[in-house]
Each structure stands twice: as structure tokens, then as C-alpha cells.
Amino acid sequence: MTATPPFLSEILITEAEIQQKVCDMAAEISADYAAILEPGEEVLLLGALKGVFIFMADLSRHMTVPVTVNFMDVKDMENRARASGLTEVDNDIALTIKGQHVLLLEDIVDAGLTLNHLVRSLNLAEPKSLTIATLFIKEALRMVVTPIKYRGFDVGNKYVVGYGLDYKEKYRNLPYLGVLHPDARR
């Protein structure tokens, strides 16, 4: 068993549990797309940075349909939205998603506001389809009802780190998901 480091109060989801879930999600997602993809089409895996980088790397390697990958800097989009009042995807992203089957990947959905903004602006770029997958979700805290087709674990109302998720940019590289210890929050 992995020892719990002092900056965590517990290990919530083990590395093995995460790997099993990601594998299962990739199988389900691949089967669903295999049924709708036409010859020559692929799935564009679009990740919301930065937290999604590990989930993207693991999920994509278990996918059995053709995929391409791209990433968006969500923080950057939100900062620009604050300045202009609009959340817009940049032109590069808009061009790559037009006419594509887009699977938007999130590390964690909390209130869902980030996701809601993203979905609205991505739809303006006219993807052929737009579907959402998140590895972690805080179902109790959701305020926005953007439909999420694929979801891994409900983590309740806890601040979690690891497997891509950070606290002040730290702990993203932990292979498991842990609950941040109150003493580590400063």
C-alpha cells in the first residue's frame, strides 16, 4: 500500500482504481464512436489545460478508434473573457473543430461554470458533434446542467489533488487522487 504523504489527509482514489476507470471509459467511448464514425473520420480529443494532461495521455492510449488531440488554455480564455465580456475560443481551435467529432475532456467539473462557457463557445465553431467527458466530478456542487456523457468518479465536496490536479501548481504529478491536508493549504 502507498503511504499517505504529510500534505494529504487521505488517498481518496488509488492509482490502480484510476487506471481501471480510465481503461473502462476509453472502451465505452471507443465503442460509442465506432458506431457513428464514417470512414476517414476521427475523434478530436480536446483537453482543457492544465489539469487534463495526464487523463488525456492515459485515455488516448486506450482509445481504439482514430483520434487527434488538441488543448485549450482555459485560464487564458477566462482572462480574455473578463476583459472583453466574451468567452471565445481562439481562431486556431475554431478552425480545427469545425466539422469534427469533438470530445471535450475535463479533469474535474466543480460548479460547472468553466465547462458551460467552454461548451457555448465551442458550439459557435460548428463541430459535427460535441460530447463531454470528465474524470472527476463534484456532483453536489454542480450549478450548471450542461450534460456530461462520460464521468469517472464523484469526489464529493473535497479539495483534491493529484493525477493532473493542483493546489497552487503543486501535486499534479501524483499518480493517485488525494485530499489536500488543511495544513498544506496556505
Residue 110 interacts with which of ligand IMP, Mg ion, none, CB < 5 to 8 Å by class: ligand IMP
Closest approach of Cβ 108 to ligand IMP, in Å? 5
Q: Looking at beta carbons only, is 46 or 108 nearer to ligand IMP?
A: 108
Q: Which long-range contacts (CB under 8 A, 24 or more apart) does 81-85 make?
A: 81/117
* Residue 51 engages Mg ion in binding (rule: CB under 5 A): yes
Q: Looking at beta carbons only, is 115 or 130 nearer to ligand IMP?
A: 115
Amino acid at 170: K
Q: Is 110 labeled as catalytic in the residue annotation?
A: yes
Closest approach of Cβ 92 to ligand IMP, in Å? 21
Closest approach of Cβ 161 to ligand IMP, in Å? 6
Separate counts of helices (H) and strands (E) for the chain: 5, 8
Q: Distance between CA 24 and CA 167 in Å, rounded?
A: 28
DSSP strands (E only) in the chain = 8-13, 43-49, 67-73, 101-109, 129-137, 150-154, 160-161, 177-180
Residue 111 interacts with which of Mg ion, ligand IMP, none, CB < 5 to 8 Å by class: ligand IMP
Q: Map residue 160 onto helix, strand or coil.
A: strand
Residue 169: which residues within 8 A CB-CB, separation 6 or more? none
Residue 121 interacts with which of ligand IMP, Mg ion, none, CB < 5 to 8 Å by class: none
Closest approach of Cβ 75 to Mg ion, in Å? 8
The catalytic residue among 24, 58, 90, 110 is 110
For ligand IMP, the binding residues (CB under 6 A) are 51, 107-115, 159-161, 165
Contact 97, 104 (CB under 8 A): no
Amino acid at 3: A
Residues near Mg ion, by CB under 5 A: 51
Q: Which residues are catalytic?
A: 110
